[in-house]
Amino acid sequence: MKIPQAWQFRNGNVQIIPVQFRRSRSRRPHWIIILICLVCVSLIGAYVYPPRRYSACYFFSSSICSPLKDLLPPTARVLTDDEFASNVLIKNILSMPSVELKNSKIAFMFLTPGSLPFERLWEKFFLGHEGRFSIYVHASREKPVHVSPLFDGRDIQSSKVVWGKISMVDAEKRLLANAIQDPENQHFVLLSDSCVPLHNFDYVYNYLMGTNVSFIDSFRDPGPHGNARYTEHMLPEIEEDDFRKGSQWFSMKRRHALIVLADNLYYTKFKLYCKPGFDGRNCYADEHYLPTLFNMVDPIGMANWSVTHVDWSEGKWHPKAYRAQDVTYELLKNITSIDENYHITSDEKKVATQKPCLWNGMKRPCYLFARKFYPEALDNLIHLFSNYTVI
Residue 193 CB neighbour total at 10 angstroms: 21
Sign of the dihedral through C-alpha 127, 132, 185, 373? negative
For residues 39-50, average pLDDT: 54
Higher model confidence: residue 9 or residue 120?
Answer: 120
pLDDT band at 195 (very low <50, low <70, confident <90, very high): very high
pLDDT band at 23 (very low <50, low <70, confident <90, very high): very low
pTM of the model: 0.80
Residue 119 lies in a domain: yes
Higher model confidence: residue 21 or residue 74?
Answer: 74
Note whether 276 and 283 are within 8 A (CB): yes
For residues 232-249, average pLDDT: 96
Residue 21 lies in a domain: no
pLDDT for position 353: 92
Residue 254 lies in a domain: yes
pLDDT for position 38: 67
- Position 313 pLDDT exceeds 50: yes
pLDDT for position 319: 85
Note whether 351 and 344 are within 8 A (CB): yes
Residue 7 CB neighbour total at 10 angstroms: 8
Residue 160 lies in a domain: yes
Percent of residues in the chain assigned helix, strand, coil, to nearest 5: 40, 15, 40
- Whole-number Å distance between alpha carbons of 51 and 234: 17
pLDDT for position 53: 39
pLDDT for position 3: 46
- Regarding beta strands 358-359 and 352-356, do their DSSP bridges make them parallel or antiparallel, or are they unpaired? unpaired
- Whole-number Å distance between alpha carbons of 207 and 371: 19
| Tens-place pLDDT, residues 153-191 | 999 999 999 988 999 999 999 999 999 999 999 999 999
Residue 231 lies in a domain: yes
Higher model confidence: residue 338 or residue 78?
Answer: 338
Lowest average pLDDT, out of 70-84, 307-321, 324-338, goes to 70-84
| Tens-place pLDDT, residues 96-121 | 887 777 889 999 999 999 999 999 99
- Position 255 pLDDT exceeds 90: yes
pLDDT for position 50: 45
pLDDT for position 385: 86
Strands (E) across 35-167 are located at 105-112, 133-139
pLDDT band at 29 (very low <50, low <70, confident <90, very high): low
pLDDT band at 389 (very low <50, low <70, confident <90, very high): low
| Tens-place pLDDT, residues 58-95 | 333 334 444 444 445 556 778 888 888 888 999 999 98
- Mean pLDDT in the chain? 85
Residue 51 lies in a domain: no
**Residue 209, domain extent:** 81-389
Residue 187 CB neighbour total at 10 angstroms: 24
**How many CA atoms, within 13 angstroms, populate the side-chain half-sphere of residue 254?**
21
| Tens-place pLDDT, residues 342-374 | 999 999 999 999 999 999 999 999 999 999 999
pLDDT for position 30: 66
Sign of the dihedral through C-alpha 108, 109, 111, 115? positive
For residues 44-68, average pLDDT: 42
Domain harbouring 364, CATH code: 3.90.550
Residue 34 lies in a domain: no
Domain tally, the chain: 1
pLDDT for position 44: 56
pLDDT for position 24: 46
Q: Which amino acid is at 150?
A: L
Residue 160 CB neighbour total at 10 angstroms: 11
- Position 22 pLDDT exceeds 60: no
- Whole-number Å distance between alpha carbons of 295 and 304: 9
pLDDT for position 35: 63
Q: Which amino acid is at 118?
A: F
pLDDT for position 12: 52
pLDDT for position 82: 83
Residue 362 lies in a domain: yes
For residues 229-241, average pLDDT: 95
pLDDT for position 171: 97
Choose among 171, 209, 166, 205: nearest CA to 190. 171
**Percentage of the chain lying above the pLDDT 70 cut:** 79
pLDDT for position 21: 43
